[in-house]
């Protein structure tokens, strides 16, 4: 079970940050991976981090240069016009992970309404993972959240 709780999202509403948050539960290894990718919308910098926890509840804290995320496919929302990735290649060499993460369906954008005047759009939904972990085939259930995609410069 995931505990997804934002303590302070003011940066998102102030148009300063965007993020991608990934969580995967691998079936075969009974392990879990949580990754994040933060974007500073003012200067374009990105920051990666995360945690891998094995079946024995031992955790490895992952840092910026250990995480590689490549967007493979996108979906454009007809409502917000945001371009959301819906398939990724994720590599974390220090734990022996190479996986393909794919949305179960593309259209998982949500609109959070404020006073009937403004919608804040974000993408949050179910995905599946297929790949290898320490040279063993793995599959997994995943959940991904993305904010402020319509503000990212490509």
Question: Which sequence spans correspond to the domains of the chain?
Answer: 15-151
d(CA 150, CA 123): 11
pLDDT band at 15 (very low <50, low <70, confident <90, very high): low
37-59 tens-digit pLDDT: 998 888 889 999 999 999 999 99
H or E element in which residue 12 lies: helix 10-13
Please tell me the CATH superfamily of domain 15-151, with its number.
Answer: AttH-like domain (2.40.370.10)
Distance CA 79, CA 76 (A): 9
Winning range, highest mean pLDDT, from 68-72, 108-112, 122-126: 68-72
What's the pLDDT at 16? 78
Taking the C-alpha atoms of residue 153 and residue 109, their distance in angstroms, rounded to an integer, is: 19
Q: Report the alpha-carbon distance of residue 29 to residue 139 in Å, rounded.
A: 9
């Amino acid at each position: 079970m995931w505990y997804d709780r934002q303590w302070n999202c003011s940066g998102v509403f102030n148009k300063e940050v965007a993020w991608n948050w990934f969580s995967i539960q691998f079936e075969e290894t009974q392990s879990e991976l949580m990754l994040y990718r933060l974007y500073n919308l003012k200067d374009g910098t990105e920051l990666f981090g995360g945690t891998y926890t094995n079946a024995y509840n031992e955790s490895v804290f992952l840092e910026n240069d250990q995480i590689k995320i490549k967007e493979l496919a996108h979906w454009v929302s007809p409502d917000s016009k945001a371009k959301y990735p819906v398939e990724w290649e994720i590599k974390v060499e220090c734990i022996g992970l190479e996986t393909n993460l794919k949305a179960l369906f593309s259209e998982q954008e949500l609109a959070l309404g404020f006073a009937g005047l403004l919608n804040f759009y974000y993408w949050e939904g179910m995905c599946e993972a297929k790949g290898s972990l320490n040279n063993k085939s793995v599959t997994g259930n995943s959940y991904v959240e993305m904010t402020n995609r319509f503000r990212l410069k490509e």
